[in-house]
Structure 1
Amino acid sequence: MTALRSMIGAAAVAGVLCAPTVSMAQSYPDVVRTSAYVSVRDGTRLAVNIYRPAKGDVAETARLPVIFSFSPYRARYVEKDGKVVELALGDRLALRSLIRAGYVVATADIRGKGASFGHRRGFQDRTEARDGYDLVEWLAKQPFATGKVGMIGCSYLGGTTFQTATTAPPSLKAVFVGASDLDKYAFVRRGGIPAQFNTRPDEPAEVDLASVPVDADADGAMLKAAVAQHAANTPMAGLWYGMPHRDSVSSFTGNAFWEEVGVYNYLDAIRKSGVATYFWSNWQDEPTAQSVLSAANLPGAKFLAGPGSHCVPPPGFDFAGEVTRYFDHYLKGAANGIDKAPRATYWLEGLDGKGGYVRSALLPGEGAKPLSWYPGAGRSGTARSANDGVLTATANGAGADSFAVNYTLPDPEYFAFWAQPMDDKGLSYTSAPLGKPLKLVGFPIARLTVSADRSDANVFVYLDQVDNAGKAEVVAFGRLALSHRKEGKAPYQTLGLPYHSGLGADVAPVRPGEKVRLNIDMTPISRIVPKGARLRLTVTGADPRQRNLKDIRQDPAPVITVHWGKQSGGASRLDLPVMK
């Protein structure tokens, strides 16, 4: 259990609360599992696993609510050492705790993956969403079920949860969506630049063949037949790389596929269905921006953010208790007050010098006031190409700094969910040590006037916090191609952030040397920067997390120029989201 601070809007801390908990008594210490193939509307058979709460080997006979999780990563599989791994029996998504708390938990492999038959036309497409609908309704009608179903997932599983909600199954009453996206184009090809998410190679058949066959498939013959159909899957990286614009028509699906998988197009269906929504991500995870926007677009949605990385249960927080309390209210009718709790719960780094959770009626970014800092000349007072530029409270003089894009970058982890400092790979501008703490909650925006020596270039920005000893950590980052600079009216609520349409007609090259304005929204931040620390803005032209970096590198490298000080079109600046 951890202490939580209560914040009403932008008001100061109002008090200390106990972390939300529920009784985790071992009412159902055991589990009875069964598995089978279930046919969806087009006849495709999907592998479904059912976990019923039990005492010993006797399952609960009373009807119970069902929690469903829909996975592309094999819901049951055998590791090389022979150990069987089961999604439902781990607590990363609180599934084991939910079984103990009196829920039937169901997991399933999406079509074209694991032990399921069929092939993937796309990824989180309408076929997959309708599969989710069919399985929700099938589960609701089983003799062990009350008819009420909830869904939970994170990353791709968060996407299957969110996409299923867009089909509005009548029996789906609540969803808990982790690290998923509202606008897949703006996430996967953010600023027109694809990065690591969704662009990895596809797994070989051996991976799916390690799935545990369903109960009726004693010799594994059906598993082998199912996996053979997976050979027709659309390649993930090929699909995403092949659609450079929001309205690009995919050669694999034959339609404007970004629009098909953009959840924002189906928000009205979610609103009308009345399904309860809870969005979760962590601050050191790129999808968090999309989670904030998802909550902003669904009235009544809850939001949770911890200090960890991708899909890690928030450290120091009773995550399983929060999940159980949420579903207890919406699936069991428990009057536990979660519906009346403040909308947002999130980690505030540096609270009381260390960090802690706060409760707020506002989502991160709501109520923040921009504080503008301006990049300028370095210690020599002249244009330069080193990392000795400064950030100041006013725009002074006028000048420019240039750098050649550096493609010699460190090899990242296979899943490098967070950026590392890049101050030696481009230009950097650093503030003086802070004279007092600075509370930042929301989205930093880098508003830069830039030019390049060719018709297009990629621009990456990073916000670092640098301590007294010079140790730096990236606290926010963003990216935008020069050709994708045009902004337009967003089809959903953006909390005032710039919206780059990405439409083919709006994507335009620049003239070499032409100054253009880039408004780059960065990943959200929640921290109190301590007195004496410095903030640093870094600008580069490449990032090690670009999986296609070897394919797109240019020789000679592009030269990018940042124009600072008093410029036509406005001074380059960094807008920081300051909260009182």
Structure 2
Amino acid sequence: MTERGFTTIENHWIALKDGSQLAARIWMPDDAVADPVPAVLEFLPYRKRDGTSLRDESTYPVFAAAGIAGVRVDIRGSGESDDVIDGEYTELELANACELIAWIAAQPWSNGSVGMMGISWGGFNSLQVAALRPPALKAIISIASTVDRFNDDIHYKNGCHLSAQLSWAATMLGYQSRPPDPAIVGDRWKEMWLQRLEREPFFMEEWLKHQRKDDFWRHGSISEDFSRVDIPALVIAGWADGYRNTPLMAVEGLGSKAKALIGPWVHKYPHFAWPKPRTDFHGEAIAWWDRWLRGDKNGVDRLPQVRAYILDAVRPAPRRVFDPGFWITKDVWEPPKMQCLYVEQFGRLTEGMPIPQAPEHPVYLRSPLDTGTASGEYFTLKPDAEMALDQRGDDAGSLVFETLPLAEDHDYLGRPELTLSLRSTAATANLCVRLVDVHPDGTATRISFGVLNLAHRDSNAAPEPLKAGERTTVRIVLDACGYRVRRGHRIRLSLSTAYWPLILPPPENTGVSIDVASIGLALPKLGDHQRIEMKAPDDPDPLPKYIEHAPAATKRQVVRDLCTNLTHYHIHEDTGLFEHPQTGLSTRQVRQEVWSIAPDDPLSMTGISTWTCEMQRPAWSIRTVSTARISCTKTRWMISAVVTAYEGENKVFEKKFAEKRIARDLM
């Protein structure tokens, strides 16, 4: 196909019906009015001018050269767009998206067909907008997203409180505290900035008011009614990311309308993600848009329903550049056949089913509350210690069972499941489950994990406290995985009552008594499949190069203070200071985060997350510092935040979100 020339429109104002203007960056194929083109919308709060410019500039010029217009729009209150953001995936945001789609379809350069695309926030709202059925929206590509906002996002996981909730609330305070670029909006930049600083919300206040699956979380969760989505959806994720479940959940819920692609990646686009191997996302996307936005009969509709990378005996490391494995396809996704394992009388994990009505074999488990420091982050952006590390340290605080060395390779694809019976003296407790590949030298790679707030064992909408001493049977569905455990390796099941700092502790740490005789582990067999080769990106280094003024830096440390009996988990992430060569705008973000806990006291838990964001040009500089805090009592979560803004060295604004004491709801 002959490449088409294109023009980059650095900023275009799109007027909404309510009178506000949203800022768009548009990549427009040449002669589009004479020869109308399809368009792809990406709608985010992450700032087209600087926040996502690297990845936008790696993709939308390629789309435009293929005759597909790219329309990258900042959500209200972000970047150069008017007003102030009002939350995540709100009715207003989704209504604005539908209005933007109609605007695009009505333009003289448009052929009337619009796609929607994005990673993370943009992947979320692509699915959510598809469920609203705007007429011009014909297909979507959703990357690193969720179909279930309560159980499969950064807030809660099976009723457990994720530490990422504080991290993300602090991130959004930092992101939204930045001003528009004066080079775009002119002299009104400061008025717009001060309005944002005054009115931006502290999202966590709202999130903590909804600690069970209610209408707040059902809004935007397409799993509540998959039938609302009636257009084709290409759903992509990586095994190293927190959103690894979505592609398989999407094909299960959407059926033939969905295609799943799962690689080894962190939370990045597949053409520049780590760990490698990468895939030709540009080629995949252009073929998808050509089929559904132009009507080309290019065979995309006949793609296998699932394409997945099966990790092959991966070793954890401080940095994973390439994960060994192989690509497979399944033409039609069906529930996998399960390999069942149980714990036999000598404590060995072995193939078979638990013996019905076997005598109870209780084992008391009360993990140190700092068990979990090798868990990595929920939301991974780099293939370093953000990913799960060697599990042996966490296994020391866990109840573990493992097989004999395997006599042959075992291949898995899907979601493992665990059932067991237990007793507790507390109203609730957390149970964390890890599936581990134990290499011949003892190295332990986490294959999958799952967590459960035991009060949520039967319902996330209507949790029930445990009855002291009563035998309770629970089922935990672990996260999806694609993995080969090699001959000579062992499969380990690790159980713990803590997984900190990924999961925040319950109000009591009394432990649980697990009936070992009841343990049943079901592993999803890969089953029938075809091996394939996936095309690598044409450009192995697709991101543009900006001018470096200060290098990036990363540091993660676990400090155990033996005098105070406190464990501290420190995070330092510095993006470095980089200047866009065309706009002259330099930006930098620094995240400093500390989580602390005493291994024997759940009420000692504290978290502090600080974001420092800088923007500058010669004779103009802006800096904002946003800090969010969390601590707890037995009955309350306590949160607070402060945002301070500087123009040059002068403090121009400070806002304190006073401490809120929010009741703990069986959490």
8 Å CA contact retained: 2:146, 2:246:
yes
Give the 3-state SS of the residue equivalent to 1:320 in structure 2.
helix
Q: Match for 1:176: what amino acid?
A: I
1:325-474 equivalence runs, <5 A: 325-350=287-312, 354-363=324-333, 366-376=334-344, 381=346, 389-394=347-352, 395=354, 398-409=360-371, 410=373, 417=380, 418-420=387-389, 421=391, 422-474=394-446
Query: Which residue is equivalent to 2:552?
Result: none
Which shows bigger deviation, 235-244 or 471-480? 235-244
Distance 1:518 1:259, change over 3 A: same
CA offsets 1:180-201 (integer angstroms, 9 cap, x no match): 1112112242211132455423
TM-score by length of 2: 0.69
Describe the shift of the 1:440–1:207 C-alpha distance in structure 2 as closer, same or farther (beyond 3 A). Answer: closer
Give the deviation of 1:214 after TM superposition. Answer: 8.1
Q: What SS does the corresponding residue of 1:285 show, helix, strand or coil? A: coil
User: CA contact under 8 A between 1:37 and 1:45: conserved in structure 2?
Assistant: yes
Give secondary structure in 1 for the equivalent of 2:150.
helix
Contact 1:48 1:108 in 2 (8 A): yes
Alignment of 1:187-198 (within 5 A): 187-188=152-153, 189-198=156-165
Identify the match of residue 241 of structure 1 among 182, 201, 208: 208
CA distance in 2, matches of 1:45, 1:299: 38
Q: Secondary structure at the match of 2:361?
A: strand
| 2:86 alignment partner AA | R
What aligned pairs does 1:111-510 form with structure 2 within 5 A after superposition?
111-188=76-153, 189-199=156-166, 200-203=168-171, 207-208=175-176, 210=178, 213=181, 217-219=185-187, 221-222=188-189, 224-225=191-192, 228-229=195-196, 231-247=198-214, 256-265=215-224, 267-271=226-230, 275-300=231-256, 301-313=258-270, 315-350=277-312, 354-363=324-333, 366-376=334-344, 381=346, 389-394=347-352, 395=354, 398-409=360-371, 410=373, 417=380, 418-420=387-389, 421=391, 422-486=394-458, 501-504=459-462, 507-510=463-466
Question: Does residue 542 of the first structure (1) align with residue 498 of the second (2)?
Answer: yes
Determine helix, strand or coil for the equivalent of 2:332. coil
1:393 is aligned with what amino acid? E
- How far apart in 1 are the matches of 2:378 and 2:160? 17
CA RMSD of aligned residues (A): 2.8
- Distance in 2 (CA, whole Å) between partners of 1:307 and 1:203 is 25
Are the structure 2 counterparts of residues 546 and 526 from structure 1 closer, same or farther at C-alpha, using a change threshold of 3 Å?
Answer: closer
1:66 aligns with 2:15: no
Q: C-alpha offsets along residues 280-317 of structure 1, whole Å, 9 cap, x if unaligned?
A: 11122232213321222213211111111223416342
* Separation in structure 1 between the aligned mates of residue 13 and residue 503 of structure 2, nearest angstrom: 36
Change (3 A) 1:169 1:231: farther
Of the three residues 75, 88, 107, the one matched with 2:56 is 88
Task: For residues 112-151 of structure 1, give each alpha carbon's deviation from its aligned partner in whole angstroms, at most 9, with x where no partner exists.
Answer: 3332223333311222111110111111122222221111
Q: Give yes or no for contact 1:304–1:344 (8 Å, CA) kept in 2.
A: yes
1:71 CA displacement = 1.0
CA distance in 2, matches of 1:284, 1:402: 32
Q: What's the CA shift for 1:438?
A: 1.2
Deviation at 1:338, TM superposition (A): 0.7
Question: What amino acid sits opposite 1:304 in the alignment?
Answer: L
Runs of 4+ in 1 over 6 A off after TM superposition: none
Percent identity between matched residues is: 23
Q: CA deviation at 1:403?
A: 2.1
Does residue 1:562 correspond to 2:514, yes or no?
yes
Per the alignment, residue 489 of structure 1 pairs with: none
**Pick from 22, 41, 45: which aligns with 2:21?**
45
Contact 1:150 1:172 in 2 (8 A): yes
- The answer for the alignment partner of 1:493 in structure 2 is none
Residue 269 of structure 1: CA displacement?
3.1
Deviations 1:437-487 (A, max 9, x none): 11211110011212223121011101011111111111111111111111x
Residue 202 of structure 1: SS of its match in structure 2?
helix
Counterpart-to-counterpart distance in 2, 1:328 and 1:223: 43
Greater share of strand: 2
Read off the aligned partner of 1:32 and give its amino acid letter.
Answer: T
**Greater displacement, 168-177 / 111-120:** 111-120
Alignment deviations for residues 350-392 of structure 1 (CA, whole Å, 9 cap, x no partner) = 39x95221221123xx242111111356xxx5xxxxxxx5312
Quick one: structure 1 residues 483 and 415, their matched pair in 2 at CA, closer, same or farther if it must change by over 3 Å?
A: closer
Question: Structure 1's 88 and 53: CA in aligned 2 closer, same or farther, altered over 3 A?
Answer: farther
C-alpha displacement at 1:334, in angstroms?
A: 1.8
Local SS of the residue matching 1:324 = helix
Aligned length in residues: 495
Measure the CA separation in 1 of the matches of 2:367 and 2:16. Answer: 50
Secondary structure of the corresponding residue to residue 169 of structure 2: coil
SS of residue in 2 equivalent to 1:186:
coil
CA 1:306–1:203 in structure 2 vs 1: closer, same or farther (change >3 Å)? closer
**Secondary structure in 1 aligned to 2:161?**
coil
Measured in 2, the distance between the counterparts of 1:130 and 1:481 equals 35
In 1, the alpha carbon distance for the partners of 2:454 and 2:103 equals: 49
Of 10, 13, 37, 1:34 maps to 10
- After TM superposition, give the deviation of residue 415 of structure 1 in Å: 5.7
Q: Secondary structure at the match of 2:301?
A: helix
Q: Deviations over 1:374-424 (max 9, x none)?
A: 1356xxx5xxxxxxx531224476522222232124387666545442312
Relative distance call for 1:157 and 1:211 in structure 2 (3 A) is farther
Structure-2 change in CA distance of 1:191 and 1:205 (3 Å) = closer
Please say if residues 178 and 193 of structure 2, whose CA atoms lie closer than 8 Å, have aligned partners that are also in contact: no
Cα deviations by residue, 1:27-86 (Å, 9 ceiling, x for unpaired): 43x5422313323343333222212235xxx988632211111112112227xxxxx935
Q: What whole-Å deviation, never above 9, does each CA across 1:240-290 have from its counterpart, x for those lacking one?
A: 22211113xxxxxxxx3112232234533322xxx2211111122232213
Instruction: Name the TM-score, length of structure 1 as normaliser.
Output: 0.79
Gaps of 5+ in 1: 1-22, 79-83, 248-255, 382-388, 487-500, 566-570
Letter in 2 for 1:435: A
Report the CA distance shift for 1:454/1:205 in structure 2 as closer, same or farther (over 3 A): closer
How far off is 1:224 after superposition?
4.3
Which of these residues, 37, 43, 48, is aligned with residue 75 of structure 1?
A: 48
- Asked if structure 1 preserves the Cα contact closer than 8 Å seen for 2:179 and 2:189, the reply is no
Residue aligning to 1:16? none
Q: 1:412 to 1:466 in 2, by over 3 A?
A: closer
Change (3 A) 1:86 1:320: same
> 2:38 and 2:183 mapped to 1: Cα distance?
23
Q: Which residue of 1 aligns with 2:75?
A: 110
